Homo-oligomer: A and B are copies of this chain.
Amino acid sequence: MNYKLAIITLLILMIPTLGSSQDNSDKNQGFFPAETNQLGKQYPMVNADGIVRARITAPDANYVKLDIGGVKYDMVKDQDGMWSGQSAPQDEGFHYYQLNIDGASVNDPGSKSYYGAGRQGSGIEIPAHDQDIYAMKKVPHGKVTQKFYFSEITKTWRDCFIYTPANYHLDLDARYPVLYLQHGSFEDQTGWSSQGKANLILDNLIAAGKAVPFIVVMENGYASRPAAEADSNRPPSAFEDVMLEEVIPMIDAEYRTLKDREHRAIAGLSMGANQTMRIFMNNLDKFASYGGFSGTSNYPSSEAINPATFLNGAFKDGAAVDQKSDVFFLSLGTKEPNPFPGSVGAFKNMLDKQGIPYTFYESPGTAHEWQTWRRSLHEFAQLIFK
């Protein structure tokens, strides 16, 4: 509690991470502490091949496993009760993971916590060849703000995160376009500015003049009406109504936005791509650009889409859709599992048939994970509001 003692202790704890990475790298056979580690924690470590090394002290455990990428790797105990183990090489980018101690699935005490896979748990960053796009650089940085509001639709308190670009505070007459950007299933409104690094991606693009400065609103895609108001004739999710009736008016009232459709875009990943495509197609008077990262509204079907009936015929008149879409963007990782390639492929075939132009981006060597979505945002952000 003595603050000098606390600072000295903290400095000692930090020495490993403060030391030159070359030294650590040599001592640790090329392994270094993950960027996602808690302050002062040496483990977990990663190496250039994407192998994850974990450690935890559990002297009385019968077994400990490193649980990452759908595989549980056995760890082994040393004489001091420290368990160590490592994974096969992981794809570059961010992954959720956990440790399993005698059947209990728990956070690795070495890792910071991230909300995904339906829990606030461990995550690990595998350095990527293109990590420069979301690196923390000496450029002007925007801010990320948490806004609480009571939804009269869900009758619950909700919150969203709002990115404002670096110079937002400078010219109080300037107004900005807005991107509404959604997470995937079993994730929440924290995902894009935490593991997604949306703020850093935009800071870097804006500083380089590759994207125009815009606001990003990150909401929670889960929204339901109170049980008492359940109605089998209405969609199970109230998200579309919350977005259109509550979030957008609130953002337009509290931020210096440009309120016309040309300056409003909507995008999402996976479940968020599905949700936002419906919102976009049902509200072409409100949005001019759409981004669907690793997802489309025909999910999970890979069958040919009939534009006469799909989304109530929203794509029937291809020319009209094209005329209303400044940017229509789709993306996938090259390693995405079924049904994503088939489903997005069927959707693209439909667009082709209807003569609707779109941009398709493929993230090399990544699956249905955040590295695909970081890159997708990086591409999409350079196209919109221009």
Asked whether any CB of chain B lies closer than 8 Å to the CB of A185, the reply is yes
Which range contains the number of A residues in contact with the other chain?
Answer: 35 or more
Docked CA distance A185–B3 (Å) = 6
User: Contacting A10 at CB < 8 Å: which of B3, B145, B222?
Assistant: B222
User: Contacting A236 at CB < 8 Å: which of B1, B7, B57?
Assistant: B7
Q: Are A104 and B56 in contact (CB under 8 A)?
A: yes
Q: Which residues of B contact A169 (CB under 8 A)?
A: 254-255
Q: Which residues of B contact A10 (CB under 8 A)?
A: 118, 186, 222
A241 to chain B, nearest CB (A): 14
Q: Are A224 and B104 in contact (CB under 8 A)?
A: no
Docked CA distance A169–B308 (Å) = 46
Identical copies in the complex = 2
Residue of B nearest to A104 (CB): B58
Docked CA distance A141–B145 (Å) = 13
Stretch at the interface among A106-114, A207-215, A285-293, A309-317: A106-114
Residue of B nearest to A224 (CB): B11
- Given A10-B222, A106-B109, A144-B145, check contact A3 B101 (CB 8 Å): no
User: Contacting A4 at CB < 8 Å: which of B7, B63, B172, B236?
Assistant: B236
Stretch at the interface among A147-155, A327-335, A347-355: A147-155
Residue of B nearest to A145 (CB): B145
Chain A 109-123, CB within 8 Å of chain B: the 1/0 string? 100110000111100
Asked whether any CB of chain B lies closer than 8 Å to the CB of A38, the reply is yes
Docked CA distance A299–B5 (Å) = 12
Docked CA distance A300–B113 (Å) = 34
Residue of B nearest to A368 (CB): B1
Q: Which residues of B contact A109 (CB under 8 A)?
A: 104-107, 119, 121
Chain A 222-255, CB within 8 Å of chain B: the 1/0 string? 1010010000000011000000000000000011
Of listed A103, A184, A368, residue having the most chain B CB within 10 A: A103
Chain A 143-187, CB within 8 Å of chain B: the 1/0 string? 111111110000001000000000001001000000000001110
Q: Which residues of B contact A1 (CB under 8 A)?
A: 184-185, 270-271, 299-300, 368
A143 to chain B, nearest CB (A): 5
Q: Which residues of B contact A237 (CB under 8 A)?
A: 3-4, 7
User: Contacting A113 at CB < 8 Å: which of B4, B81, B120, B136?
Assistant: B120
Asked whether any CB of chain B lies closer than 8 Å to the CB of A62, the reply is yes
Additional 5 contacts, C-beta under 8 A, given A109-B121, A144-B145? A6-B271, A7-B224, A58-B104, A62-B102, A106-B107
Report A's interface with B, CB cutoff 8 A. Answer: 1-4, 6-8, 10-11, 13, 18, 38-40, 56-64, 81, 99, 101-107, 109, 112-113, 118-121, 136, 138, 141, 143-150, 157, 169, 172, 184-186, 188, 221-222, 224, 227, 236-237, 254-255, 270-271, 274-275, 299-300, 368
Q: List 15 A-B contacts (CB under 8 A).
A: A1-B299, A1-B368, A3-B237, A3-B275, A10-B222, A39-B118, A57-B104, A58-B101, A61-B61, A62-B102, A101-B101, A104-B109, A107-B113, A141-B147, A143-B147
